[in-house]
């Protein structure tokens, strides 16, 4: 009792915060944490095991002092810190109010084996990928053709040699005549290629100097015979001269086709780094209209797409910035709490990536992005008055694909301000409604842009408008593979937006039409009997929309009473868990985890709903009983540890509801949780152990569950868990175990039975008394400081060290508050038991012999957040 008096006297000297102030705002709560973290950062002592885990997260809690026992909400909110590894992946997954964000992979787009303009896409009236360019000379000349003036005297200019020594001295007419000597040439030697290339370079230089005075028709006629040459250098040189002439119409189209022909082969990419052909191409497109000269735009944007897009098959996986995958393997002892890891980017060829970035930088500097946005606006304006079809529609297809390729590279290092294109791409997706191939390409571009912070900042203002695109997608009732791809990417884009912006969650939920479309699509996908990868992927992405939307307290509370949403999630939970029992696939596993993530967030708010309001048919609130029983069934047959953790998280939120606790225990939930904890008592799955204890705290809040828990030898289990956590100096886990023991000992009959047996409570009392000894804690810290290999420290560090040595571990302080109250309750129970035996003749006196130290000590404790 001396230790209790010592701890209690110190508690009375600390300021006690009022209950009303127990829940500060998020901004206020961060300030004392930051001050405490800054204070501990300079200390060089080795932190305890549990403190090390929090330090890895960069989220070391401040502790609330010894003035009061921390609420369950504050305790379990700290548990969420253990659910990730490092500040990068873990922090974005956390949200206020016990809800958390759900991540997923980027939808995988099948790659074509080579560079093709359309691939397997079948668009009506599409231009051919193979073409003839024998009409370069067909454009009428701007000026009348004139014969070259001949000098009346003097010798004629000698013909230049093949080495090109006299090319600069030759007239333009002479250069054209030299080119005509190679008319119709296809295969040629390197020497011939070099000779022709020299002539074309000289001709290009003259055209650039005399843009207005050159004879365009005459020059184009000389270039006519070289368009069938097999040499890519010659073709690019011809295209440069043609573009330098500022041609339009069919000649501009021919030049774009020449460049496209070279760009189709990935081995020719290096040629585009040797000269300014890309800049000339952008200049040429600047004089073209996607409505009047669509074919030129098609091949030009196809060329840009080829040159800036990677051909690596795993590029989509390498850019999954929004995906955090679960790891079924047990974590190492050095990093017990972490079971989530970021999928590391696959290595990309540095040379290839550098080449792409160089080309993208050149395009950006020359205004390619601004030109693409301008063409996009022109197509949208035309589509607003008349449905796009034919070549303009194909231009939109290639333009959006080129913009997607730019976005892929820009997310590495480039800054192209592609966020300016986001509103126009959304309008393009609306304009192309009914043209699935084109709309799919536009939505693919938007989904990639949604991964970028700046683009997502722009897109979040259009969240509800993007949601409206879901409606017509399933209007026909049947979902093709292409339609599923559109739904998947719309869901991925919305999930990214709702994961980052609070206003977008509220905006989307309050748009009744968008919400109705989302529910309709979820229902239709759930009714399909097939389990194709495309269908599962679309379901994953759309359920993630619900999960990330429900992070907002207002939205999450209201979604609990939305028609059919609970029924859809419950049906997916049953179907997916049953399918995983038969055959485990990654897609089924991810769908199950996404569904559990959505249920986790929705269940958090359901105990706050008034019971008098009418419940919508198929809503989550109307299916609490079925959901509790289903979770118990799935948990009993679940083979993987990662899925068990997700189930325990859902149960941690759901069992705060009294009806849910009753139904869960009625389905055998209490023995199931004891079984899981018995397996994990000495296991390595820290996350599952922590979540399961949190569920147990809630279940023991009901008096009728305490007796069965004792029959299941639950008290011995809690004692074992407490010893293990204290021996590892895991003050956080010990804190939760003490909460469970507190709820158990509230029951007088249970306390009396445990006092009679004596051994369990004696062991718990000894453990608590031992680890509540501050001298023992400080001596351990001093021993660790003695082992420091770097004794040389400046004055500021030494002062911080002395402060750290005199100040107890913050997590230990939080544990000490709960443990002190628990130890006092155990002592009171022992005293009450002794008085009851010594004064058995006066039962009424024995009940009043030991007054309660605190009027709040007999209150149940529930886990507020899981």
What pLDDT digit, counting tens, does each position of 663-722 carry? 999 999 999 999 999 887 666 788 999 999 999 999 998 889 999 999 999 999 999 999
Mean pLDDT of 749-774: 82
At residue 450 the predicted structure's pLDDT band, cuts being 50, 70 and 90, is very high
pLDDT at 111: 62
Q: Domain 478-667 is in which class?
A: mainly alpha
pLDDT at 619 over 60: yes
> Which candidate, 739, 781, 766, 679, places its Cα nearest to that of 866?
739
pLDDT at 584: 87
What single DSSP character describes residue 94?
B
Q: How many Å is the maximal CA-CA distance in the chain?
A: 147
Q: In terms of C-beta density within 10 A (0-12 exposed, 13-18 middle, 19 or more buried), how is residue 120 classed?
A: exposed
Lowest pLDDT segment from 310-324, 477-491, 725-739: 310-324
Distance CA 467, CA 494 (A): 8
pLDDT at 540 over 50: yes
Return mean pLDDT, the chain. Answer: 76
Mean pLDDT of 476-501: 90
Take residue 326 and report the two structure tokens written for it.
């679960």
Of 219 and 214, the one with more pLDDT: 219
pLDDT at 221 over 60: yes
Mean pLDDT of 183-195: 86
pLDDT at 104: 85
pLDDT at 161 over 60: no
Q: Are 695 and 673 spatial neighbours (Cβ–Cβ below 8 Å)?
A: yes
- Go through 575-594 and write b for each residue having 16 or more CB atoms within 10 A of its CB, e for each that does not: bbbebbeeeeeebbbbbbbb
Summarised one tens digit per residue, pLDDT across range 92-143 is: 344 434 788 988 888 876 666 566 766 555 555 556 554 455 544 444 444 4
Take residue 811 and report the two structure tokens written for it.
């997590």
pLDDT at 80: 42
pLDDT at 224: 80
Mean pLDDT of 26-49: 41
Mean pLDDT of 52-72: 38
Q: In terms of C-beta density within 10 A (0-12 exposed, 13-18 middle, 19 or more buried), how is residue 866 classed?
A: buried
Beta bridge partners of 341: 325
Mean pLDDT of 2-12: 45
Take residue 734 and report the two structure tokens written for it.
């010990």
Take residue 738 and report the two structure tokens written for it.
């003490």
> Which candidate, 203, 219, 260, places its Cα nearest to that of 236?
260
Mean pLDDT of 279-292: 95
Q: Would you say the C-alpha torsion 491, 494, 500, 503 has a positive or negative sign?
A: negative
Distance CA 739, CA 748 (A): 16
Distance CA 666, CA 653 (A): 18
pLDDT at 310: 62
Cα-flanking dihedrals φ and ψ of residue 342, to 5°?
-80, 135
pLDDT at 77 over 90: no
Mean pLDDT of 733-745: 92
pLDDT at 480 over 80: yes
Q: In sequence order, which residues have a C-beta less than 8 Å from that of residue 856 and are 6 or more positions away?
A: none
CA distances to 206, 220, 718, 810 from 118, rounded to whole Å, are: 38, 30, 64, 62
Cα-flanking dihedrals φ and ψ of residue 2, to 5°?
-65, -40
CA distances to 63, 148, 690 from 34, rounded to whole Å, are: 12, 83, 25
CA distances to 108, 642, 692 from 645, rounded to whole Å, are: 27, 5, 8
pLDDT at 716: 92
Helix/strand/coil for 341: strand
pLDDT at 504 over 60: yes
At residue 185 the predicted structure's pLDDT band, cuts being 50, 70 and 90, is confident
Helix/strand/coil for 342: strand
pLDDT at 842: 59
At residue 370 the predicted structure's pLDDT band, cuts being 50, 70 and 90, is very high
pLDDT at 860: 62
- In the chain, CATH 1.25.10.10 covers 478-667
At residue 37 the predicted structure's pLDDT band, cuts being 50, 70 and 90, is very low
pLDDT at 398: 95
Lowest pLDDT segment from 219-228, 426-435, 622-631, 695-704: 219-228
pLDDT at 241 over 80: yes
pLDDT at 296: 95
Distance CA 467, CA 451 (A): 17
pLDDT at 783: 56
| pTM (two decimals) | 0.79
Lowest pLDDT segment from 198-212, 309-323, 373-387, 800-814: 309-323
- How is 511-552 classified by DSSP, letter by letter? -HHHHHHHHHHHHHHHH-----HHHHHHHHHHHHHHHHHTTS
At residue 798 the predicted structure's pLDDT band, cuts being 50, 70 and 90, is low
Mean pLDDT of 175-181: 87
At residue 354 the predicted structure's pLDDT band, cuts being 50, 70 and 90, is low
pLDDT at 570 over 80: yes
CA distances to 410, 530, 680 from 107, rounded to whole Å, are: 19, 19, 36
The dihedral region occupied by 774, where left means phi > 0, alpha psi between -120 and 50, and beta the remainder, is: alpha
Summarised one tens digit per residue, pLDDT across range 840-863 is: 655 554 455 444 444 445 556 666
pLDDT at 356: 81
pLDDT at 812: 84
Distance CA 135, CA 28 (A): 73
CA distances to 429, 581, 698, 863, 864 from 657, rounded to whole Å, are: 43, 29, 9, 11, 11
At residue 511 the predicted structure's pLDDT band, cuts being 50, 70 and 90, is very high
User: What is the share, in percent, of the chain residues with pLDDT greater than 70?
Assistant: 66
Q: Are 714 and 797 spatial neighbours (Cβ–Cβ below 8 Å)?
A: no
Helices (H) and strands (E) in the chain, counts: 42, 2
At residue 470 the predicted structure's pLDDT band, cuts being 50, 70 and 90, is very high
Of 569 and 528, the one with more pLDDT: 569
pLDDT at 69 over 70: no
């Amino acid at each position: 009792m001396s230790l209790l008096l010592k701890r209690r006297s110190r508690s009375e000297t600390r300021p006690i915060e009022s209950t009303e102030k127990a829940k500060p705002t998020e901004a206020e709560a961060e300030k004392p944490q930051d001050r405490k973290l800054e204070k501990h950062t300079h200390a060089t002592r080795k932190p305890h095991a549990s403190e090390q885990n929090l330090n890895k997260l960069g989220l070391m809690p401040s502790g609330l002092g010894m003035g009061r026992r921390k609420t369950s909400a504050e305790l379990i909110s700290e548990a969420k810190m253990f659910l990730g590894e490092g500040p990068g992946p873990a922090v974005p997954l956390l949200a206020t109010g016990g809800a958390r964000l759900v991540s997923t992979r980027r939808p995988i787009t099948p790659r074509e084996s080579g560079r093709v303009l359309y691939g397997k896409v079948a668009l009506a009236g599409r231009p051919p990928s193979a073409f003839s360019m024998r009409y370069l000379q067909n454009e009428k000349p701007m000026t009348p053709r004139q014969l070259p003036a001949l000098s009346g005297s003097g010798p004629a200019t000698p013909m230049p040699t093949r080495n090109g020594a006299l090319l600069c001295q030759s007239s333009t007419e002479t250069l054209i005549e030299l080119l005509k000597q190679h008319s119709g040439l296809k295969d040629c030697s390197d020497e011939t290629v070099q000779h022709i290339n020299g002539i074309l370079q000289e001709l290009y230089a003259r055209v650039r100097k005399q843009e207005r005075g050159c004879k365009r028709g005459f020059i184009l006629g000389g270039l006519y015979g070289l368009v069938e040459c097999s040499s890519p250098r010659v073709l690019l040189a011809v295209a440069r001269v043609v573009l330098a002439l500022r041609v339009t119409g069919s000649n501009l189209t021919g030049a774009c086709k020449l460049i496209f022909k070279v760009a189709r082969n990935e081995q020719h990419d290096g040629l585009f780094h040797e000269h300014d052909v890309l800049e000339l191409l952008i200049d040429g497109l600047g004089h073209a209209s996607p409505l009047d000269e669509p074919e030129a735009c098609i091949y030009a944007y196809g060329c840009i797409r080829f040159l800036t897009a990677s051909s690596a098959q795993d590029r989509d996986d390498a850019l999954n910035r929004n995906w955090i995958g679960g790891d079924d393997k047990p974590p190492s002892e050095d990093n017990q709490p972490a079971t989530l890891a970021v999928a590391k980017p696959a290595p990309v060829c540095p040379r290839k990536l550098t080449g792409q970035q160089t080309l993208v930088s050149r395009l950006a500097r020359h205004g390619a992005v601004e030109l693409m946005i301008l063409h996009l606006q022109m197509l949208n304006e035309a589509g607003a008055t008349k449905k796009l079809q034919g070549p303009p529609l194909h231009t939109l297809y290639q333009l959006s694909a080129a913009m997607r390729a730019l976005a892929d590279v820009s997310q590495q290092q480039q800054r192209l301000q592609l966020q300016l294109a986001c509103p126009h791409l959304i309008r393009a997706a609306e304009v192309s409604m009914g043209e699935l191939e084109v709309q799919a390409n536009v939505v693919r571009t938007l989904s990639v842009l949604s991964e970028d912070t700046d683009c997502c900042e722009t897109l979040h203002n259009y969240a509800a408008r993007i949601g409206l695109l879901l409606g017509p997608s399933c209007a026909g009732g049947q979902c093709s593979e292409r339609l599923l791809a559109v739904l998947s990417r719309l869901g991925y884009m919305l999930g990214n937006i709702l994961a980052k912006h609070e206003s977008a969650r509220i905006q989307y939920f309050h748009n009744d039409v968008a919400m109705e479309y989302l529910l309709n699509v979820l229902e239709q996908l759930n009714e399909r009997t097939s389990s194709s990868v495309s269908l599962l992927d679309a379901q994953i992405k759309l359920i993630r929309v619900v999960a990330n939307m429900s992070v907002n307290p207002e939205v999450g509370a209201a979604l609990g009473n939305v028609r059919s949403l609970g029924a859809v999630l419950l049906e997916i939970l049953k179907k997916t868990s049953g399918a995983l029992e038969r055959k485990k696939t990654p897609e089924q596993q991810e769908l199950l985890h996404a569904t559990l993530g959505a249920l986790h967030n929705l269940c958090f708010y359901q105990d706050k709903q008034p019971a008098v309001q009418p419940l919508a048919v198929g809503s989550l609130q109307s299916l609490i009983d079925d959901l509790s029983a289903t979770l118990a069934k799935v948990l009993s047959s679940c083979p993987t540890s990662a899925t068990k953790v997700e189930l325990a998280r859902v149960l941690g939120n759901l069992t705060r509801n009294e009806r849910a606790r009753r139904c869960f225990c009625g389905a055998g939930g209490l023995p199931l949780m004891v079984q899981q904890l018995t397996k994990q008592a000495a296991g390595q799955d820290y996350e599952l152990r922590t979540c399961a204890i949190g569920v147990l705290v809630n279940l023991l809040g009901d008096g009728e569950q305490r007796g069965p828990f004792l029959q299941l030898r639950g008290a011995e289990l809690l004692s074992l868990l407490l010893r293990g956590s204290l021996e590892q100096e895991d003050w956080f886990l010990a804190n939760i175990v003490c909460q469970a023991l507190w709820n158990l000992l509230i029951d007088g009959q249970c306390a009396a039975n445990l006092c009679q047996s004596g051994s369990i409570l004696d062991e718990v009392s000894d453990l608590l008394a031992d680890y509540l000894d501050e001298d023992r804690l400080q001596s351990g810290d001093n021993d660790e400081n003695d082992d420091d290999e770097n004794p040389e420290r400046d004055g500021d560090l030494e002062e911080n060290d002395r402060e750290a040595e005199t100040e107890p571990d913050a997590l230990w302080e939080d544990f000490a508050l709960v443990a002190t109250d628990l130890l006092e309750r155990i002592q009171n129970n022992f005293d009450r038991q002794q008085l009851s035996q010594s004064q058995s003749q006066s039962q009424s006196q024995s009940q009043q012999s030991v007054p309660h130290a605190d009027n709040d000590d007999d209150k149940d404790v529930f886990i507020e957040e899981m």
